[in-house]
Structure 1
Amino acid sequence: MKRFALLMTSLAALSLAPHAHAAPSQLAATTSWIGNSFGFGDGKWMQQDIQALDVAADGTVYTNSPWDESGAEIAAYRNGDRIAVAGATHGWGAAGGDAVTSNGSYLYAAMSIGNQGGGLVGADYPPNGYTWFGITRRAIGNIAQGAPFAGGVGNSANASKNSFLIVDTVPASTDAGIRGLAANESELFVADQYSNRIIVFDANTMRRKRAFDVATAAPGKRIGRIALDADGSLWIIAGASIVHYSAAGAQLGGAPVLPNGAVPADLTIAPSGDLYIADIGPAQQIRPYKKTAAGMLLAAAPVGTLNGVNHAPAGKIEAGRLNFVTGIGFDAAGNLYVGQNGEGPRALNSASVGSGAVLQAFKGISRSLLWELDGLVFVDGAAFDPGAPNTVYTGSKIFTIDWTKPPGKQWTYAAYTVDRIGYPDDPELHIGRDVRGEPMVRRLNGNRPYLYTLDPYSHELYVHRFDTAHGSIAIPSGMFAESFIAGGFPANQPAWGEWMWRDIDGDGRLDDTEFTANPATGSAVGNSFIWVDATGGVWFGTPTSGIRQMPVQSFDALGNPVYSYAAAKTYAMPAPFTRIGRVLYVAETDTMYITGFTQAVPYDATRWKEAGPYLARYDNWSAGTPVMTYGIALPWNTASTPPVTTVGLATAGDYLFVAELYTQKIDVYDARTGAPVGYMTPGANVGGTSGHVDVELGISAMRRANGEYVVLVEDDARAKILMYQWTP
């Protein structure tokens, strides 16, 4: 391992003191966005996840999910518009859930109420150490208004007071989320997977009437969704099978036999009386079953393209290519409504919020698309493809941009890059919230695109390659981890220290023989900010042990980039830094940008994800003796309300772009001199606001051929990417 000391020229030493400049002004930038059907200037956003849906006769679609960052866990949509949000399902111990149903009077939705580790006390909350799982009942004409009942509890300070029914009180670490609901005008049927029973309540008084156990096909399998038939019987998902029960609890015959490999996610009764079952196995289709004297028999024509989004060309997005359906339902006219989240209904004890919500309405028998709403991006950044400048990647999606269209209408959802079935070892499916995020797109190995992604806080780096045989699917190619990853994945990782993985045999699985441990793991490893330059070189900005570079050594026969610990180069911590926050190396000009903390503004552990208060540029970084060109103070005032701190850094052309964490500003600097140019803030078309930039690589930038700069910024708050367009 080679070690390079940074030698500062006397001229560079003079620039250690931050430059003084006049206060910057707001720039004339246009705000746009990517990935959400609504911008929020109209007060609306499409929720980021759909775990379940219910469809009323008039085509109103009610959705539910445990979490939406801005509180739209339970919402209502009609004719391609969002018409209501239930509220009181977010924060103060409350969360949404995994099931929803309605009748002519009420909306019933699964939700939970906790006490935030004992911080919330009183009659509205369960005892310390416990969580309530149950049902919130709302007035069908105004779902923000609770429909209270005797014995109802919760939310005494808002409009849903005493409208929550406790079904299970369980230890706080237990997931007793209700997975199925169905209702008529007199009874409410609840699939309580915690006890594997159907519990029946009076739909008006909410008093318990009866309960019965449900037989499942295999031990440990839980019951899920319910469809209420016109004859009053119940079709129930039980593990990987469908069972049929009377409303009184007698098991009935006629249950459909699912094909091998089918994984039922939801089921519903069409106006025709047919039973439709959403299959999220390899087929990725919705299967209609007709009633016959011999029972439910599969109809000839499933809904949707065989293999869904993975039908060749794999990953392509178009109507009819389904991508892990979570909910289906019909209106009285026979129109079909489909909710998808790229993952399917969440597993027990999973905190996943899916991989982007898609809600579609298909017309009658023709199944032509009537409308679609998207909420596609969460805990995810975005980056342009340097080889296709009208193409934007997020961690799991590809968008194309049409610059001739107005803000918010420029993007088209073009491809989904995750194949959960073909590549079940993809780290995206196992680490964090199952969200592959923070992309860096690099053109390497004969101008082929490679997708490098970070977890939100830069603990690991993931490498994905593409080939023509797999369409738009990002094939797991490699991975870097700076330390052992707790939680059971990868199961065969080295037991201690830093390691990397390369997919030597091309199957996308993390095989035992494909790991390489760093033989020199030591003080230089841990909690680095990881950056990939235009040549594929991987840079680790360690907090206190300098900077490491791992250049690409070659590409193997499959196209995987090959790296070697023995070829790593190490650079000492440059003055004046005492802790590094971000590194950004521009290979074309051999320029390094570093942000972090100094003796003047020392590191504070409460600011662990911030980029830091100081930025410096170094030229001739690797070609000779690095020279510090300038150092500047970044916006930083932790005593203000809200605090002013920095969280992200990007560069393109002649400018630097710095994202502030809490204050919704993008500060712009001249990259050549460090002089402040101005700042950008969200425009009125996005409500003049954005969420906090919650990740370490939440900003990127590109200079278009016409001289316009485009800056992409994470906006978790409302499931989108902010896009600023600015011409100097």
Structure 2
Amino acid sequence: MKLLSRLGAAIIFCHCLLPLTGYAQSQLTYTTSWIGNSFGFGDGKWMQQDIQAIAAGADGTVFTNAPWDESGSEIAAYRGGDKIAVAGFTHGWGAAGGDAVAVNHTYLYAAMSIGNENNKLVGADYPPAGQTWFGITRRTLANLSAGVPFSAGVGNSANATKNSFLPVDTVTTGTDAAIRGLAATDSELYLSDTYANRIVVLNANTMQPLRLWSVSSPGRIAIDTDSTLWVISGISSGTLTILHFNADGTALAGVLPLPAGAVPTDIAVTPAGQILVADNGPSQQILVFNKDASGQPRAASPLGTRNGIFHALKGVPGNWRFNGMTGIALDPAGNLYVAQNGEGPRPVGSASVGQGAVLESYVFSSHALNWRLYGLTFVDSAAFDPATPASVYTGSKRFTLDYNQPVGREWSYAGFTLNRFDYPDDPTFHQPRGVRGEPMVRRIDGRPYLYTLDPGAHYLNVYRFDAARGETAIPSGLLAQNPLPGTWPSGQPGYGEWLWRDVNGNGVVDASEISSNPSTGSTVGNGFWWVDAPGNVWLATPLSGIREMPLQGLDRAGNPIYTYASSRMFAMPQPFTRLARLVYIAESDTMYLSGFTSAVPWDATHWKEAGPVLARYDNWSSGAPTQQYAVSLPWNTQSNPQTTTVGVAVAGDYVFVAELYTAKVDVYDARTGQPVGYMTPGASVGNTSGWVDVYLGISAAKRDNGEYAILVEDDARAKILMYRWTP
């Protein structure tokens, strides 16, 4: 590939580096809102980002569990569409939530684990070096944050859950021995020891063992109206069946007759004795089994739209359009509860937190919706459709905005763009976390295209849309700075950059469609991808300058075409010694860069930061660009918390810079580089947010009325912050 140097000494400098003395900007006047969560945290509430299991109490309270929620809501309680409690003490200091939960009239029993944080935690509260405990925590329904101790209980001697954890399996750290099923009566607790291939029965009050029997990798358990048990078996192998046992462990004849292709993920029994099975296979329905005169289950009409959210208008959410069911439960009043995470239960050995949580309730008899709660985004930022600021994409969601609605109610969930059934080879599933993250939306020939980055910006994924596929983003291309670990995809090089384009339009990464970069690979590394408005792809490499891959048009399938042969290289401009972020405005031929300089050099502890300097260059592509300014950004690595930058967005006349640790967005005049002010989370979101900890965690748009809308990642409580500011 011929590399054409377009900058270097040709740059004309108009300004020297402009320091910001004490970073003394003033706070702007603006409104703080949010997207993607039913609660903003202004009232101290948030919907958790993942739900792996649920149980329903006698009063209609729904109890949830998941191994991880960023702000510690692994185990929580919801009732009537409101969040009423967080259990706590399942997050940090070695503790994590789990994959099962059960209640009786007195207690909550929840799976969890306790580790020792790489042997840093020692003593009786923690497992021995190199090991992890998987087991059960017991809490009182009257106060979920209070443990109920018992003679065999251990752990948490310094908090309110002292000696209320029962270790079931002690395993080498890194081994997944999670408890995958729980069911309780007022006298007995049944648990699925998936790792040890057994059902264990405990006294529900003393937590002493009563009996056990062998079952191949058991999962969810349901207690029938006749006190027999239904147990999902085969969790580890993936060959799933539902077995039937007496309460003493005696196997009963036959298995629950599942239809072909069914993937059972949970079981529930109605007060009338109907057996319900959550099917996470292609049907995305709740299977229903009535009992005949002899008590044998017979399949009845399933509940829910066949194919769930992927039926007909693919990706459009709605009532009874399920998407990755992880739990179902019923209360005595006949209300059905359904938990979903856009994926299904966490596979054994996986650290997945799903694709966004949905918890909803229906009247079982009439099918009427009672309520629904959302916690839809995690390690996910958002971007506006350039055709309208009323349409916002995250990695796997689309939202519509009505700016006339009250704070926190502007958004509506409009689409789930990830389709694991039609496009199981989507590169998303093979990249870090298996979750589409940071989006850019572009219009090419008037058609929408979605470009997404993984959290570390190593891979640029390209997606197209087709009206026949509804909201589904169809895998279209991939540009990789280096090979993906493992064997996927077949045909990727062993070293260096490569790209894929879906030439045959089937959404599968075929080896014949992969091209390698014929250059030496000097640009491979922790670079940053940017796609400009016309669809040209830019890569800010750390040390080798900037590369543009001009769009070469669209192929017959509608995929954007990029080639290494058509690439153009631009030398590293002054004053930078390492580049970190790039925003190119093609309409005005203006380049914005951020990064590090000899005065404040890069160091590995700040590998994700955007750097301490921001510069603007005009007439970038002319061969003689002009540097308009280079300004110092807030940067103090000795403060607590540190003051560093992580994201850069440009809209209209302003540059918006997100700080990593301080929940602060700094605003600059794009024309002069002068500071205008700053924004921090307002009272509507509890005056707080999580770290902005991805490369592309901020975006902005100017509305026709002159208002700016700024979107910022907030992993802490499963939402996107939205600032609304009129200069």
Bin of the TM-score, shorter chain as denominator length: over 0.9
Partner of 1:641: 640
The aligned amino acid for 1:453 is: T
User: Is the 1:580–1:594 Cα contact (8 Å) retained in structure 2?
Assistant: yes
User: Is the 1:254–1:295 Cα contact (8 Å) retained in structure 2?
Assistant: no
Q: Does 1:236 align with 2:231?
A: yes
CA distance in 2, matches of 1:89, 1:345: 19
1:360-375 paired onto structure 2 within 5 Å: 360-375=360-375
Q: Does 1:251 align with 2:246?
A: no
The aligned amino acid for 1:179 is: R
User: Is the 1:328–1:339 Cα contact (8 Å) retained in structure 2?
Assistant: yes
Partner of 1:417: 417
1:17-416 paired onto structure 2 within 5 Å: 17-18=18-19, 23-214=24-215, 216=216, 222-239=217-234, 240-293=240-293, 296-416=296-416
User: Is the 2:11–2:626 Cα contact (8 Å) retained in structure 1?
Assistant: no
CA distance in 2, matches of 1:19, 1:639: 17
Any gaps of 5 or more consecutive residues in structure 2?
235-239
The aligned amino acid for 1:482 is: Q
Partner of 1:453: 452
CA distance in 1, matches of 2:520, 2:553: 23
The aligned amino acid for 1:357 is: A
Percent identical pairs in the alignment equals 62
The aligned amino acid for 1:225 is: R
The aligned amino acid for 2:179 is: I
CA distance in 1, matches of 2:296, 2:359: 28
SS in 2 for 1:697: coil
The aligned amino acid for 1:48 is: Q
CA distance in 1, matches of 2:102, 2:433: 27
User: Is the 2:225–2:271 Cα contact (8 Å) retained in structure 1?
Assistant: no
CA distance in 2, matches of 1:529, 1:263: 39
CA distance in 1, matches of 2:3, 2:147: 67
SS in 1 for 2:684: helix
SS in 1 for 2:434: coil
Q: Write the deviation string for residues 155-189 of structure 1: whole angstroms up to 9, x where unpaired.
A: 11111010000000011011000110001011110
Could you state the TM-score of these two structures normalised by the residue count of structure 1?
0.97
CA distance in 2, matches of 1:604, 1:575: 19
Q: Write the deviation string for residues 387-424 of structure 1: whole angstroms up to 9, x where unpaired.
A: 13201000000000011101101100011001111111
1:579-728 paired onto structure 2 within 5 Å: 579-728=578-727
Partner of 1:541: 540
SS in 2 for 1:199: strand
Partner of 1:494: 493
Could you state the TM-score of these two structures normalised by the residue count of structure 2?
0.97
Deviation at 1:5, TM superposition (A): 4.0
User: Is the 2:6–2:570 Cα contact (8 Å) retained in structure 1?
Assistant: yes
Runs of 4+ in 1 over 6 A off after TM superposition: 19-22
The aligned amino acid for 2:123 is: G
Q: For the structure 1 residues 599 and 22, does the alpha-carbon distance in structure 2 shift closer, same or farther, using more than 3 Å as the test?
A: closer
Report the more deviating stretch, 636-645 or 61-70.
636-645
Q: Write the deviation string for residues 511-569 of structure 1: whole angstroms up to 9, x where unpaired.
A: 11111111114212211011111111111111111111111112111101111000111
CA distance in 2, matches of 1:618, 1:442: 23
The aligned amino acid for 2:669 is: D
Q: Does 1:550 align with 2:553?
A: no
CA distance in 1, matches of 2:282, 2:475: 19
Deviation at 1:603, TM superposition (A): 1.0
User: Is the 1:8–1:626 Cα contact (8 Å) retained in structure 2?
Assistant: no
CA distance in 2, matches of 1:16, 1:675: 12
The aligned amino acid for 2:228 is: S
CA distance in 2, matches of 1:631, 1:237: 62
User: Is the 1:7–1:627 Cα contact (8 Å) retained in structure 2?
Assistant: no
CA distance in 2, matches of 1:625, 1:8: 9
SS in 2 for 1:555: coil
SS in 2 for 1:618: strand
Q: For the structure 1 residues 7 and 517, does the alpha-carbon distance in structure 2 shift closer, same or farther, using more than 3 Å as the test?
A: closer
SS in 2 for 1:346: coil
Report the more deviating stretch, 151-160 or 285-294.
285-294
Q: For the structure 1 residues 480 and 9, does the alpha-carbon distance in structure 2 shift closer, same or farther, using more than 3 Å as the test?
A: closer
Deviation at 1:204, TM superposition (A): 0.7
User: Is the 1:8–1:627 Cα contact (8 Å) retained in structure 2?
Assistant: no
Deviation at 1:363, TM superposition (A): 1.4
Q: Write the deviation string for residues 93-134 of structure 1: whole angstroms up to 9, x where unpaired.
A: 000000000111110000000011101100011111111000
Partner of 1:473: 472
CA distance in 1, matches of 2:158, 2:348: 31
SS in 1 for 2:716: helix
Deviation at 1:622, TM superposition (A): 1.0
CA distance in 2, matches of 1:490, 1:178: 33
Any gaps of 5 or more consecutive residues in structure 1?
217-221
Q: Write the deviation string for residues 354-411 of structure 1: whole angstroms up to 9, x where unpaired.
A: 0000000101311111101110000000011011320100000000001110110110
Q: Write the deviation string for residues 35-85 of structure 1: whole angstroms up to 9, x where unpaired.
A: 001010100100000000001121100000000000000000000111111
Report the more deviating stretch, 249-258 or 693-702.
249-258
Deviation at 1:296, TM superposition (A): 4.3
CA distance in 2, matches of 1:455, 1:526: 14
CA distance in 2, matches of 1:671, 1:707: 15
Partner of 1:219: none
User: Is the 2:136–2:168 Cα contact (8 Å) retained in structure 1?
Assistant: yes
Deviation at 1:20, TM superposition (A): 6.2
The aligned amino acid for 1:567 is: S
User: Is the 1:154–1:162 Cα contact (8 Å) retained in structure 2?
Assistant: yes
User: Is the 2:14–2:626 Cα contact (8 Å) retained in structure 1?
Assistant: no
The aligned amino acid for 1:352 is: S
CA distance in 1, matches of 2:521, 2:474: 31
SS in 1 for 2:547: strand
Root-mean-square deviation (CA), in Å? Answer: 1.4
CA distance in 1, matches of 2:255, 2:200: 21
Deviation at 1:299, TM superposition (A): 4.4
SS in 1 for 2:622: coil
Deviation at 1:297, TM superposition (A): 3.8
User: Is the 1:118–1:128 Cα contact (8 Å) retained in structure 2?
Assistant: yes
Report the more deviating stretch, 637-646 or 17-26.
17-26
User: Is the 1:287–1:298 Cα contact (8 Å) retained in structure 2?
Assistant: no
User: Is the 1:71–1:87 Cα contact (8 Å) retained in structure 2?
Assistant: yes
Partner of 1:570: 569
The aligned amino acid for 2:233 is: A
User: Is the 1:115–1:125 Cα contact (8 Å) retained in structure 2?
Assistant: yes
CA distance in 1, matches of 2:494, 2:7: 34
Partner of 2:237: none
Report the more deviating stretch, 298-307 or 417-426.
298-307
Deviation at 1:488, TM superposition (A): 3.5
User: Is the 1:15–1:629 Cα contact (8 Å) retained in structure 2?
Assistant: no
CA distance in 1, matches of 2:385, 2:471: 13
SS in 2 for 1:428: helix
